[in-house]
Amino acid sequence: MPTDPVLASARQLVGESLKELRASVEGLPAEALNWRPAGDASNSIAVLATHALGASRLWLSMAMGAPLPKRDRDSEFRASAGDPAAFLRFVDELSGDCLSLLRPAEEVDWTAMRNTYGRGGDAPPEVAAAYALIHATEHLRGHVDQISLTRQLWEARSPAP
One-character DSSP codes across 65-90: TPPPPP--HHHHTT---S-HHHHHHH
Report yes or no: 33 and 86 within 8 Å, Cβ to Cβ: no
124, pLDDT greater than 60: yes
- How far CA 6 is from CA of 12, 68, 129, in Å, comes to 10, 21, 11
Residue 69 lies in a domain: yes
Residue 145 lies in a domain: yes
% of residues, the chain, pLDDT over 70: 93
Residue 1 lies in a domain: no
126 phi, psi to nearest 5 deg: -140, 150
Task: Report the Cα–Cα distance between both ends of the chain, in Å, rounded.
Answer: 62
| pLDDT tens string 29-88 | 999 999 999 999 999 999 999 999 999 999 999 999 999 998 888 899 999 999 999 999
Residue 3 lies in a domain: no
The enclosing domain of 54 has a CATH number of 1.20.120.450
What pLDDT score does 156 carry? 94
Residue 4 lies in a domain: no
Domain housing 28: 9-156
Residue 161 lies in a domain: no
107, pLDDT greater than 80: yes
What pLDDT score does 95 carry? 98
Number of structural domains found in the chain: 1
* CA-based torsion, 55, 69, 119, 122: positive or negative: positive
Residue 122 lies in a domain: yes
Report yes or no: 139 and 55 within 8 Å, Cβ to Cβ: yes
d(CA 27, CA 92): 14
Residue 58 lies in a domain: yes
CB atoms near residue 27 (< 10 Å): 10
